[in-house]
Chain A
Amino acid sequence: MLFSHKTQKRILPFLFMLPGLIFFFVFQLFPLIKGFQISFYDWQLLPGRVSEFIGFDNYLRAFQDQVFWRAFKNTLVYTLVTVPGQMILGMLAALLLTSLPKGRGIFRAIYYIPVITSWLIVSLVIRYLFQSPQGLVNYFLVEVFHIVDEPIAWLRQAKTAFVPILILGVWKGIGWNMVIYIAALLGIPSELKEAAAIDGANGWQRFWYITVPLISPTLVFTLVMLLIGGFNVFISVYLITGGGPMQQTEVMLSYAYHQAFDFLDFGYGAALSYIMAVLIVFLSVLQLKFLRKPQEI
């Protein structure tokens, strides 16, 4: 034997971790570092060409770029709408399902389907539904429910083009939140609720004063994850509006992608993604610091 039994025992866990580690280094860490480097250059695509070091120019350029600020604002709006939307609707679904006497498994599976369907397909379906003037959504609004007189030109106006993207973002995330909340809800000892009920607490009070504090670590966890996810919105925007009309629905990632792959401006694209990365890390740290109670860490 090459190694003693003791050494083998030490090595073994690392060997098991190795595939994951390699994956992490090659596909996560290396691009991260490389992207950081690229963001300081007027980056040339081809190997062998000299890229000029331009310091913080790419970053400074972003702050003077109107479209960047619009993309930033849109990303914020997306996050502020879809994160609470997913959490509230996910919680509602979880509460309903946990109170079901039977058939919980089936409904859980049904509600989870949107999570596992491909973004590509549902984005195209949503785009199709919101066509104008002859889309299905317009049909229901005008012909069936008579809510509006004229079909709404959803994807043509800056104001409404973002609506399908928001709806898709919420709809697709409900299932994931629901599953996590169900697990958390089932972990609450029923004695507590019973005791509260005996003390005369109504349903809302039991939810607000018993359930919410007890599952607050789960809530914080989903909040952080959803926030990161919200900032990373890309595929749906890219496929539903392509950032249009007139770049009004551009979000940060779609704009970074646009700069890099459409204009071959990889330096600027990398800088944009780093600005976003810094924002996400900052927000996540803030959340964990303020929302988590010390004893739960």
Chain B
Amino acid sequence: MKHKYIFLIMSTLMIFTLLLGACTTTTGEVVESEEGEGSVEEVEAPAEEESGTAGEPVTITFWHAYNADVEAKSLEETLIPAFEDENPNIEVQSVLVPYDQFRRKLLIALSGGTAPDLARVDILWVPELADQGALANMDELWSDFDQFLPGPLSTNLYNGSHYGLPLDTNTRVLIYNVDMFEDAGIAEPPATMDDLLLACEKIKKLDEETYCFADGGTYAWAVNPWIWSFGGSVTDADITTTDGYYNSPETVAAYQFLKDAVDNGYLHPGILGGGVDSWGGFGQDQIAMILEGPWFPAMFEGQFPEKEYGMALLPAGEGGSVSVVGGEDIVLFQQSQNKDAAVKFLEFLLSEDVQLQLATTGQMPVLKSVIESDFVKEHDFFGIFLEQLETAKARTPHPNWSRIEEIMTNTGTAILNGTVGVQEGLDEAVQLMDPLLPLDILE
């Protein structure tokens, strides 16, 4: 029996060595940045001072969810080689992580200390990740913030500092089905909410199975343009309360409008859950209008090459024609060992030339100077998106945004399917949302 014990001890030891090997992080300590002081304190020496000189070659990894056919191809075959030619000591490793796995993989990598150096992330994640202490404070690493469009830049703010840089931007405009408009006798896209209702009446007369417009759910990306265009909002400007904002008469009017639209059969019931194939419906003349972003033309024409569509600004309500800001920011992780090299790559990606190059793949640029360029001015459809972006708003930048949005989604569904009255539902939501707003860090 003695042998058995020795063996047990040996194998246990072996397993523990393996375990330890698998679990230790190689990144050294991650020191949280408190109010901007002494944020970067790495155990290992960072890359040589200036990597342009004959320093040690470094590799930086860049995670993104660019589509493989066009965007990632341009990045990997054109942009990165150009950058590496300029900076022979820096190698950039491009890692395409599909969007539906991106968040989970990023969180796992962060908790294991194996985060990439840079990542292109949803603009909504920046405050959340910054709140976790995952992101480097860009105020210490970047100087010129004025070159960016203010809307996309603002999505990087957390606690008064920038924790990322804008990389590309987008918004939703009204896209309408030309054939259906002709059949229904609608001369031009609706400019106001009243026009929209008139158009919906006409569309509904075409067929009981046709819908005036459609959206995928009651989340903020879908509902906020209506709230804002009716003059309502989710919180006050300083994000301290939702009371008097999310339950204001204007917000109530927006939800009432959507509820009536569902009840009248104008708005496709897919918004209540289960989703809707709005592109398919649009392509097959069942849905007359959808709100979509600048990715729509290329992808839709792939599915329905013959289908004719038009683009217009969102119909204006009491608050004007206000759409929602989308897009991606690029963030530098606190765990990165090669922050200098990463900043160099950031400078490259955010240079005029590269932003222009990204624009050719359908990514709307974030530099003021590129917006003025001939390419953008003469572009087929960037013009309408840029016009819409002038008034577009960003969803509340807050670390608890996911929870806040879930309350919005549940409330919206309950209101639209008639479980709860509009005012009553919004009042209840305010009670749930307000406790989520105060930040520990401000106490």
Contacts and interface: CB of A to CB of B under 8 A. Distances in A.
The interface size bin for chain A is 35 or more
A46 B134 contact: yes
Interface string B22-45: 110101011110000000000000
B402 A263 contact: yes
A170 B189 CA distance: 48
Nearest to B29: A48
A16 interface: no
A176 interface: no
A102 interface: no
Contacts of A11: 7
Nearest to B113: A47
Contact of A48 (B31, B275, B276): B31
Contacts of A22: 15, 18
Interface stretch (B312-320, B344-352, B367-375, B410-418): B410-418
B132 A264 contact: yes
A133 B15 contact: no
A48 B32 contact: yes
Interface stretch (A68-76, A149-157, A196-204, A276-284): A149-157
A132 B274 contact: yes
A44 B132 contact: yes
Contacts of B402: 262-263
Contacts of B277: 131
Nearest to A30: B19
Contact of A246 (B7, B334, B414): B414
Contacts of A7: 3
Given A45-B111, A46-B111, A247-B410, A155 B273 contact: yes
The interface size bin for chain B is 35 or more
A29 to B, nearest CB: 9
A46 B110 contact: yes
A5 to B, nearest CB: 13
A10 B269 CA distance: 68
Contact of B11 (A18, A49, A157): A18
A263 B19 contact: no
Given A22-B15, A46-B30, A245-B413, A133 B269 contact: yes
A241 B23 CA distance: 35
B7 A244 contact: no
B110 A156 contact: no
B133 interface: yes
Interface string B53-85: 000000000000000000000000000000000
Nearest to B334: A46
B403 A263 contact: yes
B377 interface: no
Contact of B273 (A10, A25, A156): A156
Nearest to A260: B107
B274 A130 contact: yes
B121 to A, nearest CB: 14
Nearest to B24: A47
Interface in A240-282: 241, 244-247, 261-264
A48 B275 CA distance: 41
A219 interface: no
B7 A10 contact: yes
A161 interface: yes
Contacts of A154: 274
B417 A156 contact: yes
A132 B217 CA distance: 14
Contacts of A131: 274, 276-277
B329 to A, nearest CB: 18
Contacts, number: 106
Could you tell me the dominant secondary structure of chain A's interface residues? loop
A121 B207 CA distance: 33
B110 A261 contact: no
A109 interface: no
Nearest to A34: B23
Contacts of B275: 155
Interface in A111-143: 127, 130-134
Contact of B413 (A48, A132, A246, A264): A246
A133 B209 contact: yes
Contacts of B133: 44, 46, 49
Contacts of A21: 11, 15
A80 interface: no
Contacts of A225: none
Contacts of A133: 209, 269
B132 to A, nearest CB: 5
A96 interface: no
A167 interface: no
Interface string A1-28: 0000001001100100010011001100
Contacts of B410: 246-247
Q: Which of A44, A46, A245 lies at the interface centre, i.e. has the most chain B CB atoms within 10 A of its CB?
A: A46
Contact of A264 (B19, B27, B107, B273): B107
B379 interface: no
A262 B419 CA distance: 26
A133 B217 CA distance: 16
Interface in B301-343: 334-335
Contacts of B334: 46
Nearest to A50: B32
A245 B410 CA distance: 7
B48 interface: no
Nearest to B32: A49
Contacts of B269: 132-133, 153, 156
A33 B286 CA distance: 53
Contacts of B273: 155-156, 161, 241, 244-246
Given A21-B11, A44-B132, A46-B111, A245 B30 contact: no
Contacts of B272: 153, 156, 245
A7 B4 CA distance: 10
Contacts of A161: 273-274
A263 B132 CA distance: 11
15 contacts: A21-B15, A22-B18, A26-B18, A26-B22, A46-B132, A47-B112, A49-B132, A131-B277, A132-B274, A134-B209, A153-B269, A153-B272, A245-B273, A245-B417, A262-B406
Given A21-B11, A22-B18, A153-B269, 14 more contacts: A26-B18, A30-B19, A45-B111, A45-B134, A48-B29, A48-B30, A48-B32, A49-B32, A130-B274, A131-B276, A155-B274, A161-B273, A244-B413, A246-B410
Interface of B: 3-4, 7, 11, 15, 18-19, 22-23, 25, 27, 29-32, 103-104, 107, 110-113, 128, 132-134, 209, 217, 269-270, 272-277, 286, 334-335, 402-403, 406, 409-410, 413-414, 417, 419
3 cross-chain pairs, A with B, having the tightest CB-CB distances, nearest first: A155-B274, A245-B273, A48-B30
